[in-house]
Structure 1
Amino acid sequence: MTELDLPSSGWYVLANARVHASLTAAPIGPADADGFVLADIAVADGAISGIAPKTEGRPVPPRSVDLAGRIVMTCFVDCHTHLDKGHIWPRRSNPDGSFPGALQAVGADREANWSAADVEARMEFGLKSAFAHGTKAIRTHLDSIHPQETISWPVFQALRERWAGRIELQAASLIGIDGVRDGAFFAALADRVAEARGILGAVTYMVPDLGDLLDTVFRAAIDRGLDLDFHADETDDVAAVSLKRIAEKAIEHRFEGKILVGHCCSLARQADDDVLDTLDKVARAGLAVVSLPMCNMYLQDRRHDGTTPRWRGVTLLHEMKARGIPVAVASDNTRDPFYAYGDLDMLEVYRMATRTLHFDHPVADWPQTVAATPGDVMRLEGTGRIAVGAPADLVIFRGRSWTELLSRPESDRIVLRNGARSDATLPDYAELDPILR
């Protein structure tokens, strides 16, 4: 049996697979310096039926596919995306690459073009791309400024049903925190989110009544049993401390749901004492944080005076992780005015995170940031871990080490879903021509 000859039924063994110890549900053997264990993974009836370390002298199991040390990872979890914005760049680019330029361009495109058919076509394209790359769960934010919420949420619900069994799809509402001042609108939006089994979300910034507005958001979530997802402090302004305010309100309200906060860029610019106070409160409140390295590198500290950007735009994941704060990285925007590139490929995200945030030397358990940790934040029990009894949702790469894996695009990776090789291919950009012209 050749290495690519995967049975379409019955059972088989992925022999000599290189598995990262941080992605296994239980220890399976001693790991090398980068955290890898050479193992045999048995697959039966679409699930992982066994996993055992490779020991010297042990015979090759029957019905084996010899991977010769290739890396095998669990399928990815992408916990912060904007599928509804995706791929509008060809018809609405960002004139200067700035954050204000992105806001203006997206607002104009939304008003002019975001019909149900338009949003559905672009979201479908994004899901096809993510699925082909090996992602099995996605949370997307949905622009919910009236009347867009009446269009995009029904589209999301239809897509979630259509993609069930392939991608676990979640959605969070996205409005500016000042939109919460309209009590009737926000209550109706929260009801819509609850009806769609979504997550209540908002973009926070330092408005004078931020505390009161956060109180309203927390009460709405508590009353409806909703989790929360915030965009916070996506700026280099050291006075932007809404992450701290969110943590304080979570403690004050004794919030028992999950809270994910994205970006938190300004934290890296603040004084050490302020940083320590914020991190202590975030840990106490039980918040999780997701950094978006590709988009924030693109937007933050962009200068138009002939000088080079001076900082990376990412938040303090090492310090957070040291305090037990769950941390993740994710795709964020894709080919829209907030980020002109990207393809919802979580390997690309992890590669960028490794280089930008120094997820290496040691590798430690940083691979969890694209798998187990976002899976837990999204309440997807067991997702993002290689475990006996779990679905055989795996990605087989050519690379046999981190330096091999993260040095090439791995465009010929093999995606397994329920133990069977996926035949999904990346959609052609020409599919979007009818709506982008």
Structure 2
Amino acid sequence: MRLVNAALPAAVQEPPGEDLALFDIAIDGTRIASVQPAGGSPIGARDCKAGIVVPAFVDMHTHLDKGHIWPRTPNPDGTIAGALGAVRTDRSTHWSGADVARRMEFALRTAYAHGTAAIRTHIDSSPPQDDISWPVFAEAKERWRDRMTLQASSLMAIEDVPDDPTALFDKVTGHGGIVGAALHPSPVTQRKVEALLAEAEDRGLDIDFHVDETLDPSSNCLAMVARAVTALPFAGTATCGHCCSLMTMDEAEADRTLDAVAEARLAVVSLPMCNLYLQDRHAGRTPRIRGGTLVHEMRVRGTSVAFASDNTRDPFYAYGDLDMMEVWREATRILHLDHPVGDWPRAVSATPAAIMGLADRDRLAPGAPADLVLFSARSWTELLARPQTDRVVVRGGTVINARPPDYRELD
């Protein structure tokens, strides 16, 4: 395959150059062979006609085990408390291996059709669900290994993490996963976080936490994680998702926390669509605060920031389609990732790939995988104005014909 007149964001060029400059891309087998300034003959090539081309998406914070349960168990009031209760009920009633596998497969087919090449999912891991969902994930990982890179992290409330996490690590790593937990202020949070970090460090593993998914400014588990990582010290990548309380925190406290995050080299993943849906929700009252976290202040400090889908059609988020183009578009609107666009395009591909330890997905350059998404849009305003349902997905140097599956398959 050969692409001509492809507009590349400066953020994915090597070296970075003029934004949306035109290039010709030659593909040899499953890898990019060359990227040259445009000027080649369109004969025998796919002419992109100045359409934007980006690397395949990387969605590093999802919940494939929860997806698509909304039709049978909706959130009664749209709040986090309502979501937790609804999921608890649905899980105890329906989450057999066959049920989780069916919904997980539907979700993966959807993400693949939209142009995603790698996903990290959080797996609800409190017993007895752990013995059901982890084997399902391991089977999906193997089944999809030629089409999608899959990673998984365990998820449970920090209070439910065993004092001795050895058995938890054994089970999760036995299925190729890493360990994580949902953090909020409690008497046991710091002690258990330190135990998880120490065990992960001993095993040479990364770790992935849900942190401060609240607008309560007194909730600052993020600073606690940063201090613990620095004190250990922790050599792996510690990822913190959500970090919403920073949006309401006193400026001085937020600045101190952001400095500590940078010093600890934490990675942060923001989930703006789900947090916009859940946060500041009160019946009969218009929300005042956006979902998200202080991504611009993090980027200035050199912190790695990614954006991801989070939940999909479950009690935590009634919408979503594991479409990283939608995540990118909405994150730009919610958190002002424009004027200039700068290197924010990396936050849906190269940055999460680096956090997940995926090689070669950080650029469009010779030797990189020929996994691309082609748009007819020629400018940022064209790209971000529409859902881009006419995108072309290239995987392994070949245009795929996959389409998102019909919801009727889940009836």
2-structure distance, mates of 1:262, 1:374 = 12
- Summarize deviations over 1:132-171 as a string: whole Å, max 9, x none: 0000000000000111111111100000000002110000
2-structure distance, mates of 1:421, 1:128 = 16
* 2:89 corresponds to: 108
- Summarize deviations over 1:35-70 as a string: whole Å, max 9, x none: 21111111122221111122xxx4526522211111
Counterpart AA for 2:234: F
2-structure distance, mates of 1:342, 1:176 = 24
SS at match of 1:207: coil
2-structure distance, mates of 1:109, 1:65 = 47
Aligned with residue 138 of structure 2, among 157, 166, 184:
157
Question: Which is further off, 255-264 or 213-222?
Answer: 213-222
Quick check: 1:142 aligned with 2:126?
Answer: no
In the TM superposition, what are the counterparts of 1:74-85 in structure 2 within 5 Å? 74-85=55-66
Quick check: 1:22 aligned with 2:11?
Answer: yes
Check whether the contact 2:230–2:263 (CA below 8 A) recurs between aligned residues. Answer: yes
1-structure distance, mates of 2:266, 2:49 = 41
Instruction: Compute the TM-score of the two structures, normalised by the length of structure 1.
Output: 0.92
Q: Runs in 1 of length 4+ with deviation above 3 angstroms?
A: none
- Summarize deviations over 1:376-405 as a string: whole Å, max 9, x none: 000001114211111210111121111111
- 1:272 Cα shift? 1.2
Q: Which runs of 5+ in 2 are unaligned?
A: none
- 1:214 Cα shift? 1.2
* 2:396 corresponds to: 418
2-structure distance, mates of 1:272, 1:324 = 19
1-structure distance, mates of 2:196, 2:281 = 32
Quick check: 1:296 aligned with 2:275?
Answer: yes
SS at match of 1:347: helix
2-structure distance, mates of 1:25, 1:48 = 13
Question: Which is further off, 384-393 or 275-284?
Answer: 384-393
- Over the matched positions of the two proteins, sequence identity in percent amounts to 53
- Summarize deviations over 1:230-266 as a string: whole Å, max 9, x none: 0000001011000000000001110000111000000
Aligned with residue 365 of structure 1, among 343, 348, 355:
343
1-structure distance, mates of 2:145, 2:136 = 14
Check whether the contact 2:190–2:224 (CA below 8 A) recurs between aligned residues. Answer: yes
- Summarize deviations over 1:341-389 as a string: whole Å, max 9, x none: 0000000000000000101000000001000000000000111421111
Q: Which runs of 5+ in 1 are unaligned?
A: 1-11
- 1:223 Cα shift? 2.5
Counterpart AA for 2:110: S
- Summarize deviations over 1:276-299 as a string: whole Å, max 9, x none: 111111111110001001000000
Query: Root-mean-square deviation (CA), in Å?
Result: 1.1
Check whether the contact 1:41–1:48 (CA below 8 A) recurs between aligned residues. Answer: yes
* 1:47 corresponds to: 31
2-structure distance, mates of 1:59, 1:253 = 54
In the TM superposition, what are the counterparts of 1:309-348 in structure 2 within 5 Å? 309-348=287-326
* 1:207 corresponds to: 186
2-structure distance, mates of 1:261, 1:111 = 28
1-structure distance, mates of 2:92, 2:392 = 40
* 1:6 corresponds to: none
2-structure distance, mates of 1:46, 1:314 = 36
Counterpart AA for 1:162: R
Check whether the contact 2:273–2:291 (CA below 8 A) recurs between aligned residues. Answer: no
Question: Which is further off, 192-201 or 116-125?
Answer: 192-201
Pick the structure with greater CA Rg. 1
- Summarize deviations over 1:85-143 as a string: whole Å, max 9, x none: 00000000001000000000000000111000000000000000000000000000000
Check whether the contact 2:360–2:369 (CA below 8 A) recurs between aligned residues. Answer: no
In the TM superposition, what are the counterparts of 1:225-304 in structure 2 within 5 Å? 225-304=204-283
Quick check: 1:93 aligned with 2:74?
Answer: yes
* 1:383 corresponds to: 361
* 2:202 corresponds to: 223
2-structure distance, mates of 1:22, 1:390 = 15
2-structure distance, mates of 1:201, 1:144 = 10
SS at match of 2:385: coil
Quick check: 1:126 aligned with 2:107?
Answer: yes
Check whether the contact 1:22–1:368 (CA below 8 A) recurs between aligned residues. Answer: yes
* 2:169 corresponds to: 190
Counterpart AA for 1:192: K
Counterpart AA for 1:89: W
Quick check: 1:38 aligned with 2:22?
Answer: yes
2-structure distance, mates of 1:59, 1:301 = 53
Aligned residues: 411
- Summarize deviations over 1:148-202 as a string: whole Å, max 9, x none: 111111100000000002110000000100012x335x43211111222211100
- 1:418 Cα shift? 1.0
1-structure distance, mates of 2:238, 2:382 = 35
Check whether the contact 1:13–1:62 (CA below 8 A) recurs between aligned residues. Answer: no
Check whether the contact 1:198–1:226 (CA below 8 A) recurs between aligned residues. Answer: no
Question: Which is further off, 403-412 or 81-90?
Answer: 403-412
